[in-house]
Amino acid sequence: MRITYSFLGKQMVFDRETSQVVIGRPTQAVTVDLDLRPDRAVSRPHARIWLEDGQYWIEDLSSLQGTLVGGEEIKGKGKWPLHPGDTVQIGDTILQVEIPATPAVQIATTLDATARVCVPIRDTPSDVAERLSLLYELPMQFGEEADLYTLLQTIVERLVAVIPGAARGALLLRDGDTDELLLKACVPSGQPAVSETLARRVMAEGKAFIWRRGEEADAGVTILQQRTETGMYAPLLWQGDALGAICVDNPQRDSMFTDDDLRLMLTVAQYAAMALANRQLQEKLRHESGVKATLLRQFSPKIAERLMGHHGRPRLTSQRGEVTILCSDIRGFTKLSKNMEPEDVVQMLNDYFSHLIPVIFAHDGTVDKYVGDSILAVFGSPEADPKHLEKAVRAAMEMQATMLFLNTARKAKGHVTCDIGIGVHCGEVVHGFIGSADRREFTVIGDAVNRASRYCDGARAGEVLISQEAHQRIWKIVLAEPATITTKHEGAIPVFRVRGMKA
């Protein structure tokens, strides 16, 4: 891969036989392929460029300053395609990947992929052509039809229409919780003629069959009452799991259905089983994705994965226990934002929060909520952690250090800057998931939350204040000095101002 890059007017070339290049500044723990020292605005590491299936891609590796491709910020957007002539900016370094131009391709024939495709077969009998049409069109209908009941009804209607002599049809699905067979579709509508005995038989045996009168012992009461002479049953099987059964019959027909009829119905049953399994998987993934998205808003990825547990079923419980509460707040935010455009206020908060939240997650903290410019975080929940107090204080100190770094970067760009005060307190709370069955979110309830908020209110810009209870437990590892803050209701209360962590 050949990359031309320039920094402070000096142009250099990276040329190596490789399909991937990691770009940034190296550390003892991190090795990079393209070293961009001495550009201090470059992270360790910053980004990677790689070749995959003939396409060049670039991805920002959660850098502090971000990555621009053609002037567009790609940080947080996953992998991004690179095209010939694209300019990449990493820190104050400009890069350009030498990408060979794609040769022109001449298109001979086109077909609309969204349209129904009819495969012409010369000299094909009409009944055969109709069967082929059914097999061509069903997969397309599976993708188009959003409503499951309409889809299943369409399957039965088309099957009855295509199989000669079939007058009735039905489709049963097995309830996974109760094992009950549920009627999902039938022709004529509202007049099901289906034997649960035969349906369960094809599901158990995994084989389709043609049934005829004379086997009353196995047919069941429904078939006998309907005076059905012959019929066909096929299981809806997917990866060894019997999802249900489908059947057709004709009470007036004396002759048997043919083997070709049975093959066609079994093929349609296999199509239907595949469509049903896909729908069920989509619903499961949609549910798990929604739960996981909610968890990732509040928890670090590591804790979120633990909460999801096995098979994507989250353990959303509540309990009482001791935790540490961290509360941070921007000093003078109301006055600061009064003269700013709304878009600039939101952009500023997003900028700060996007750097502060990873610090909380890195120390196994949980984000309870955002209240305007404030962050309320919890340590030691939802999973118990014997070092929750220490981790909270270390997170608070790192958050202040992150603010100093961010303010330096924002000042250099002419952006508005701000400072935060942080309060930390430990105590017993009720913590867990509260809300409806469809939407639950993690929260904490207790006096410890209110006290942490008061310590936060008393902290000046750049300060971390901890309670006496907190100091009594971690006095061996913190450098702190006693202080006093004034509150609205309690008056003066003692606190400790953290100066740093002991070696």
Q: Residue 122's pLDDT is what?
A: 47
What confidence tier does 141 reach under pLDDT thresholds 50, 70, 90?
A: low
Kindly report the pTM of this predicted structure.
0.43
**Predicted pLDDT of residue 428:** 85
Residue 290 falls inside a structural domain: no
Are 91 and 132 in a shared domain? no
| Range name among 83-87, 235-239, 253-257, 313-317 with the lowest pLDDT average | 313-317
Contact 448, 428 (CB under 8 A): yes
**The domain spanning residue 426 has which CATH number?**
3.30.70.1230
Query: Is there a single domain that holds both residue 210 and residue 66?
Result: no
CB atoms within 10 A of CB 102: 10
Task: Select from 186, 225, 181, 178 the least CA-distant residue to 202.
Answer: 181
Q: What is the pLDDT of residue 442?
A: 63
465 and 321 share one domain: yes
Task: Give a yes or no: residue 432 inside a domain.
Answer: yes
The residues, ordered by sequence, that sit 6+ positions from 117 with a Cβ below 8 Å of its Cβ are 111, 136
**pLDDT number for residue 312:** 47
| pLDDT band (50, 70, 90) for residue 129 | low
pLDDT of 119 reads 46
Do 209 and 329 lie in one domain? The reply is no
Same domain, 152 and 257: yes
> For the CA atoms of the chain, what is the radius of gyration?
33
Confidence at 134, pLDDT banded by 50, 70, 90? low
CA distances to 185, 210, 356 from 154, rounded to whole Å, are 8, 22, 54
- Per-residue b or e along 314-324, where b marks 16 or more CB atoms closer than 10 Å to that residue's CB: bebeeeeebbb
Q: SS3 sequence, 113-132? A: CCCCCCCCCCCCCHHHHHHH
pLDDT of 401 > 90? The answer is yes
Domain for residue 173, yes or no?
Answer: yes
Q: What is the pLDDT of residue 265?
A: 85
Q: What is the CATH number of the domain that holds 159?
A: 3.30.450.40
Query: Mean pLDDT throughout 191-199?
Result: 84
Whether residue 474 is contained in a domain is answered as: yes
Q: Are residues 66 and 148 in the same domain?
A: no
349 and 446 belong to one structural domain: yes
Residue 483: pLDDT over 90: yes
Res 398: pLDDT: 95
- Residues above pLDDT 70, as percent of the chain: 78
In this predicted structure, the answer to whether residue 106 has a pLDDT above a threshold of 80 is no
Q: Please determine, for residue 71, whether its predicted confidence score (pLDDT) is greater than 80.
A: yes
Query: Looking at the domain assignment, is residue 399 inside a domain?
Result: yes
210-229: average pLDDT: 58
Q: Are residues 38 and 149 in the same domain?
A: no
Q: What is the mean pLDDT of the chain?
A: 81
pLDDT in tens, 302-356: 555 555 554 444 454 556 778 899 999 999 888 888 888 888 888 899 889 889 9
Instruction: Give yes or no: residues 71 and 153 share one domain.
Output: no
pLDDT tens per residue across span 145-181: 557 788 888 888 888 888 887 889 999 998 887 888 9
Q: Rounded mean pLDDT of 274-291? A: 70
Cα separation, 301 vs 310, whole angstroms: 15
Residue 94 has pLDDT above 60, yes or no: yes
Domain range for residue 245? Answer: 126-281
More confident residue, 345 or 279: 345
Q: How many structural domains compose the chain?
A: 3
pLDDT band for position 259 (cuts 50, 70, 90)? confident
Of 485 and 217, the one with more pLDDT = 485
Give the CATH number, domain containing residue 32. 2.60.200.20
CA distance 112 to 114: 5
Q: Is residue 288 in a domain?
A: no
Give pLDDT, residue 280.
76
What is the per-residue pLDDT for 295? 45
Last residue of a domain, one of 58, 80, 97: 97
Contact 164, 154 (CB under 8 A): no
pLDDT bucket at 432, cuts 50 / 70 / 90: low
The answer to whether residue 23 sits within a structural domain is: yes
- Mean pLDDT of all residues in 134-149: 63
> In this structure, are 149 and 87 located in the same domain?
no
* pLDDT(502) > 90: no
For residues 454 and 384, membership in a common domain is answered with yes
Residue 196 inside a domain? The answer is yes
The band of 274, judged by pLDDT with boundaries at 50, 70 and 90, is confident
Of 324-333, 379-388, 430-439, the least confident: 430-439
- pLDDT at 78 > cutoff 60: yes
Whether residue 462 is found in the same domain as residue 328: yes
- Residue 2 pLDDT greater than 50, yes or no: yes
The span from the CA of 49 to the CA of 37, in Å, is 18
